[in-house]
Amino acid sequence: MHRRNELDKAIRFIEAGLKTTLILEDIASEANMSAWHFHRVFLASTGITVGEYIRKRRMSEAAKELVFTAKPIKLLAGEYQYESQASFTRSFTAVYGLSPGKLRRQVGPLQFFDAMIKMQKGDTMITPVIKQKDGFRVVGISSQNTMKNNNIPKLWNDFHQKVCGTVKDVINPGVALGICFYVDCAEMNEDTPFTYLAGMEYAKDMPVPEGLEFRDVPSADYAVFEHHGSLDTLSDTYNSIYSTWLPNSEYQRRDSDDFELYDQRFKYGFDDSVMEIWVPIVKK
């Protein structure tokens, strides 16, 4: 246990310095080990060398910036400690099998290389519960979004002001659902539009309240994850689900809507807040 804690300190030091010059002796000192001993312990504990870990983590973070920002490739190369754009491109291609420029032009499914840091108090442990849910209807209001232009926070504000508490006969009072409409899109990038609906479960045989819209979600099996704490780290939980849990599980994502569930456990802005993420799945 002591060794794992010391190793975590060193990995956190690496994570904080991905855009700086990292020296093995400095990393090892965080774990109170000599460079030689630390290298052997790191390899035995993670199955990867320190240098390979740093390279893959830099490439993973660079890939995210290529997809979600407009930074020039040459600038990213410098930030992630490469002497030239050419050397950065060679390293990136070795990890992902395509060049940085091609990734930016045609975004494909990527499996990011996450930090090997043990979960600590306040982190979210990505261990889902598998549940089956029959088809259901949600009534509420929606907005069009992209990863670059996120209107979801404003949508929830409008929901609480105009919808919550005014709709009668909901199936689960006090439970709000955020439905992310499935997008069948071969090229998903920061400008790809998607629809998100904030609402509540409602009986299908009841007329939809005036001024609201509805979404019928089909029956499916779901991997249900809990996100703990502030919504500021919600993207980290999603990243862990899709880049770590799903690729290593016996499931794949079903082509259907996923949704977020907010019940009495959700406390906006509080560390003890809990909400759920329901991801539709099928066996591989």
Tens-binned pLDDT, residue by residue, of the chain (284 aa) = 445 567 888 998 999 999 999 998 899 898 888 887 788 778 777 778 889 899 999 998 888 888 777 889 999 999 999 999 999 999 988 888 888 888 776 544 556 777 776 433 334 446 799 999 999 999 999 999 876 677 888 899 889 888 887 888 899 888 999 999 987 754 555 677 889 999 999 999 999 999 999 999 999 999 999 998 888 778 778 877 876 788 778 998 898 999 999 999 998 878 889 999 999 999 98
**Cα 30 to Cα 53: distance, rounded to the nearest angstrom:** 16
Token pair, residue 105, equals: 């032009």
Predicted pLDDT of residue 45: 74
Predicted pLDDT of residue 145: 84
- Continuous segment of H or E residues that includes residue 178: strand 176-180
Token pair, residue 221, equals: 């099996």
Helix (H, G, I), strand (E, B) or coil at 164: coil
Q: CA–CA distance from 271 to each of 84, 120, 233, 282 (Å)?
A: 43, 14, 11, 33
CA count, 13 A, side-chain hemisphere, 188: 11
Query: Considering only CA atoms, which of 171, 194, 196, 205 is closest in space to residue 259?
Result: 196
Which CATH superfamily groups domain 129-283? Regulatory factor, effector binding domain (3.20.80.10)
Q: Rounded to an integer, what is the distance from CA 49 to the centroid of its chain?
A: 26
pTM for the full predicted model? 0.57
Predicted pLDDT of residue 86: 94
Q: What is the phi/psi pair of residue 247, to 5°?
A: -65, -25
Token pair, residue 184, equals: 């069948």
Phi-psi region for residue 19, left (φ > 0), alpha (ψ -120 to 50) or beta? Answer: alpha
Contact 139, 98 (CB under 8 A): no
Token pair, residue 230, equals: 């502030």
Q: Where in the chain is the domain with CATH 1.10.10.60?
A: 2-105
Residue type at 44 in one-letter notation: A
Q: CA–CA distance from 171 to each of 85, 136, 215, 236, 274 (Å)?
A: 56, 10, 15, 31, 21
Architecture of domain 2-105: Orthogonal Bundle (1.10)
Predicted pLDDT of residue 119: 39
Residue type at 40 in one-letter notation: R
What's the chain's length in residues? Answer: 284
- Continuous segment of H or E residues that includes residue 197: strand 194-202
CA dihedral 124, 127, 129, 134 (to 10 degrees): 70
**Cα 186 to Cα 41: distance, rounded to the nearest angstrom:** 42
